[in-house]
C-alpha cells in the first residue's frame, strides 16, 4: 500500500513550503519542525563545526558551478567557475576554473583561490578563451583526479558541430597542486556523428565500485545535448570515452543537465533536470565488461508520484547512493539534491532507501515514493553537488545567496558554500 503524502512528509520542509507560499510562516533550515528558528546565513558561516562555511564569496568575485572531491589523503577540494563577465561560456568571455582546499573536513579552507584551468586569452575560437562547469572524480586506487569541462569562447546555444562549444580534460596526480590539460572536443563529437552541440554536466563524475576493465574502475558522466542526454563511460579514467547504449539520446530524450550513479546491482542510474522534479532512467547491463545492455523508459519524479519536487524550477543537482544504517542494519540510501522552490531557492536533499532489488529495478520504482526532504538552504540557492566521505559524512557544496547589480550585470552569481552533513541530519534520525 502506498504511503499517504501527508504522512510521508509531515515532518519535512515540504509542509513549510506550503505555509510560506500562503504567507503563514517562514521557511526553516531543517525538517524537524516548522517551529525551528531560522539560522541566519552569517551565523552558519561562522560555525566552529565547519557547517555552512562560505568557501568562495560573491563579495570577492563572480562565482558559479560547484564541484567537490575528497582525495585519498582526506583533503577536500572545492571547484568553481570564476566568471569575470558574469555570464556562461560564449561571446569570447573570460572564465577560469579555480579551487580551494581543506585539510580538516571543511572546518577551514585555504585562502586565495588556486588556478586549475585558466582562460582569458580573448580569442573566441581558442580553447583557452574560457573554462567552466567542472565535472570531477578521484580514482579510489591511484588518487588521480579527473576533471572534464566546457571550454572555448563559443556558447552552448550559439554553437554548432562546425563551431562547437569545446571540451577539456584535466588531470592531477598530486591532489590538485599541479594540473595537466588538453582539448578533447573532436574526440567526443566523433563518437556521435549526429550531435550538434553538447557539454559535460558539472559536479560529480561517478566511478563504479564493481566494474573494472584494465587498470581503473569504470567512470560515467553525462552530456547535455539539444536532443537530450547521452551517457558516456570510460575504462581508462577519461583518456577515451564510449557511449553507453545506442548512439542516440535514448537515456532521456528531453533531459537537460544530468547526473549518474551506480545502483547496487551494477546497473546505471540517470537523474536529469526537468521542470518540477527529475527524470530518472536505468541502464540494465546484459554484459558489464563489454557495456552492452539497454536503457529503460524515462520516468518523471515529482509531486504527482510523491517523488522529487522542484517547485517552479529546473536545476542541476546531485544524485548519490550512500551507505547508511537503520536499526543497526545496513541499507543503501539514495539522495537527490534540488532547489525545492518556489523557483531557485531552498536547496534540499530528498532521500529514499533501496531496501530490495524491486526498489531499483525500474525507473518508475525509483521515481516514486521518496521518504522525505531535508532543507539545506533557507534562501536563494541553485546548483549543488555532494560526495560521501570516508568517515560517512556527506560533503555538500552549493550555490547560495544569488547576487547581481541589476543595472550593470546580466545574470546572478553566488556564494559557493560548504556543508558537512550526517545521514542522521538529512533523514531526521530515520537512518544513520
Question: Rounded to the nearest 5 degrees, what angle is found at the Cα of 248, between the Cα atoms of 243 and 251?
Answer: 80
Range of 209's domain?
5-426
Q: How far apart are CA 127 and CA 158, in angstroms?
A: 16
Beta bridge partners of 273: 278
276 domain residue, yes or no: yes
| Residue 163 to residues 133, 155, 192, 220, 228, Cα–Cα distance (Å) | 19, 10, 15, 26, 20
CATH of the domain at 152: 2.120.10.10
**C-alpha to C-alpha distance for 77 and 142, rounded to whole angstroms:** 17
Residue 43 falls inside a structural domain: yes
Residue among 407, 216, 373, 231 at smallest CA distance from 302: 373
For residue 411, the model assigns a pLDDT of 78
Residues 6+ apart with CB under 8 A from 298: 251, 252, 253, 254, 255, 279, 280, 281, 363
Check if the beta carbon of residue 254 is closer than 8 Å to that of residue 228.
yes
**Based on the structure, what is the number of domains in the chain?**
1
* Residue 118 forms part of a structural domain: yes
Residue 360 lies in a domain: yes
Is 60 contained in some domain? Answer: yes
Q: Residue 432 falls within a domain, yes or no?
A: no
Contacts of residue 23, Cβ cutoff 8 Å, sequence gap at least 6: none
* Assigned domain for 431 exists: no
Question: What does the alpha-carbon distance between residue 100 and residue 111 come to, in Å, rounded to a whole number?
Answer: 7
- As given in the structure block, the three cell numbers for residue 313 are 524550477
Measured between alpha carbons, how far is 95 from 154 in angstroms, rounded to an integer?
12
| Alpha-carbon gap, residue 94 to 124, rounded angstroms | 10
Give the global pTM. Answer: 0.88
Task: Report yes or no on 346 lying in a domain.
Answer: yes
Rounded Cα gap, residues 153 and 124, in angstroms: 4
Give the cell for residue 251.
537515456
Q: Please report, in angstroms and rounded to a whole number, the separation of the first and last CA atoms in the chain.
A: 26
**Cα 373 from Cα 310, distance rounded (Å):** 11
CA angle 427, 324, 147 (to 5 degrees): 95
**In the numeric block, which cell numbers belong to residue 312?**
517552479
From first to last of the 432 residues of the chain, give the pLDDT tens digit: 433 333 333 333 333 333 333 333 333 333 322 222 222 322 223 232 334 899 999 999 999 999 999 999 999 999 999 999 899 999 999 999 999 999 999 999 999 999 999 999 999 999 999 999 999 999 999 999 999 999 999 999 999 999 999 999 999 999 999 999 999 999 999 999 989 999 999 999 999 999 999 999 999 999 999 999 999 999 999 999 999 999 888 999 989 999 999 999 999 999 999 999 999 999 999 999 999 999 999 999 999 999 999 999 999 999 999 999 999 999 999 999 999 999 999 999 999 999 999 999 999 999 999 999 999 999 999 999 999 999 999 999 999 999 987 666 667 999 999 999 999 999 999 999
What is the residue-wise DSSP string for 233-268?
A: EESSTTSS-EESSSSSS-SBTT--SEEEEE-TTS-E
Q: SS3 for 425?
A: helix
Amino acid at each position: 500500500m502506498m504511503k499517504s503524502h501527508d504522512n510521508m512528509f509531515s515532518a519535512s520542509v515540504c509542509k513549510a513550503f506550503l505555509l510560506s507560499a500562503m504567507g503563514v510562516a517562514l521557511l526553516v533550515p531543517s525538517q524537524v519542525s516548522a517551529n525551528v528558528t531560522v539560522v541566519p546565513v552569517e551565523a552558519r558561516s561562522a560555525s566552529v563545526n565547519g557547517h555552512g562555511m562560505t568557501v568562495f564569496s560573491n563579495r570577492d568575485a563572480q562565482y558559479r558551478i560547484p564541484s567537490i572531491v575528497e582525495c585519498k589523503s582526506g583533503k577536500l577540494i572545492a571547484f568553481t567557475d570564476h566568471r569575470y563577465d558574469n555570464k556562461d561560456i560564449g561571446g569570447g568571455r573570460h572564465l577560469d576554473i579555480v579551487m580551494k582546499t581543506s585539510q580538516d573536513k571543511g572546518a577551514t579552507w585555504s585562502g586565495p583561490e588556486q588556478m586549475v584551468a585558466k582562460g582569458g586569452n580573448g580569442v573566441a575560437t581558442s580553447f583557452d578563451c574560457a573554462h567552466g562547469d567542472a565535472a570531477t572524480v578521484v580514482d579510489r586506487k591511484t588518487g588521480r583526479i579527473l576533471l572534464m569541462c566546457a571550454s572555448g569562447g563559443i556558447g552552448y546555444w550559439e554553437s554548432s558541430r562546425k563551431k562547437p562549444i569545446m571540451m577539456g580534460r584535466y588531470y592531477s596526480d598530486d591532489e590538485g597542486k599541479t594540473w595537466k590539460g588538453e582539448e578533447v572536443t573532436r574526440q567526443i563529437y566523433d563518437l556521435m556523428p549526429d550531435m550538434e552541440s553538447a557539454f559535460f554536466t558539472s559536479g560529480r563524475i561517478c566511478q563504479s565500485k564493481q566494474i573494472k576493465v584494465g587498470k581503473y574502475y569504470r567512470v560515467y558522466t553525462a552530456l547535455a545535448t539539444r536532443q537530450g542526454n547521452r551517457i558516456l563511460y570510460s575504462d581508462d579514467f577519461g583518456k577515451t570515452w564510449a557511449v553507453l547504449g545506442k548512439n542516440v539520446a535514448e537515456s532521456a530524450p528531453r533531459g537537460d543537465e544530468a547526473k549518474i550513479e551506480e545502483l547496487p546491482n551494477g546497473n546505471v542510474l540517470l537523474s536529469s533536470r526537468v521542470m518540477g522534479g527529475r527524470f530518472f532512467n536505468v541502464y540494465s547491463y546484459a554484459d558489464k565488461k563489454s557495456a552492452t545492455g539497454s536503457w529503460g523508459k524515462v520516468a518523471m519524479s515529482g509531486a504527482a508520484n510523491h517523488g522529487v519536487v522542484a517547485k517552479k524550477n529546473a536545476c542541476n543537482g546531485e544524485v548519490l547512493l550512500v551507505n547508511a544504517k537503520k536499526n543497526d542494519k545496513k541499507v543503501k540510501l539514495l539522495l537527490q539534491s534540488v532547489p525545492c522552490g518556489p523557483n531557485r531557492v531552498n536547496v534540499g536533499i530528498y532521500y529514499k532507501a533501496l531496501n530490495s532489488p524491486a526498489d531499483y529495478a525500474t525507473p518508475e520504482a525509483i521515481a516514486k515514493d521518496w521518504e522525505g526532504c531535508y532543507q539545506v538552504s533557507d534562501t536563494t540557492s541553485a546548483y549543488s553537488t555532494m560526495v560521501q566521505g570516508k568517515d560517512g559524512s556527506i560533503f555538500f557544496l552549493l550555490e547560495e545567496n544569488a547576487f547581481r547589480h541589476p543595472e550593470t550585470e546580466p545574470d546572478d552569481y553566488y556564494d559557493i558554500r560548504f556543508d558537512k552533513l550526517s545521514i542522521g541530519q538529512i533523514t531526521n534520525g530515520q537512518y544513520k
